[in-house]
């Protein structure tokens, strides 16, 4: 499944990232909608959910995220909706880890 979030805030460290494999962090923006996939390898074996997916969060709850590979690139987002069938666009698409 996938979850759509609206990015509320992010640290300035994301824009400073210039390592070739991590340049995607430079394109994060406040107010953008991002799509995050929960793949089987990242799922909790008991709940079959990804940690941090906002399962019990309503639309007004602020949730925190952190980029893998750069703990200083972090921020907050609000859950928009969960999609059982993923159709994430090629840009602004991520995976839970």
User: What pLDDT is attached to residue 58?
Assistant: 73
Model confidence pLDDT, tens digit, residues 9-39: 999 999 999 998 888 898 899 999 999 999 9
pTM: 0.86
Model confidence pLDDT, tens digit, residues 47-93: 999 988 998 887 689 999 999 889 999 999 999 999 998 888 777 68
Q: Where are the beta strands (DSSP E) in the chain?
A: 2-10, 33-37, 63-67, 70-83, 93-95
Structure letter (DSSP) for residue 50: B
């Amino acid at each position: 499944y996938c979850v759509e979030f609206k990015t509320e805030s992010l640290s300035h460290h994301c824009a400073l990232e210039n390592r070739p494999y991590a340049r995607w962090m430079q394109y994060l923006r406040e107010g953008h909608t991002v799509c995050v996939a929960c793949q089987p390898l990242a799922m909790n074996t008991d709940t079959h959910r990804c940690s941090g997916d906002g399962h019990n969060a309503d639309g007004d709850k602020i949730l925190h995220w952190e980029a893998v590979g750069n703990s200083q690139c972090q921020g907050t987002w609000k859950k928009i909706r969960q999609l059982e069938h993923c159709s994430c666009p090629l840009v602004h698409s991520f995976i839970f880890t």
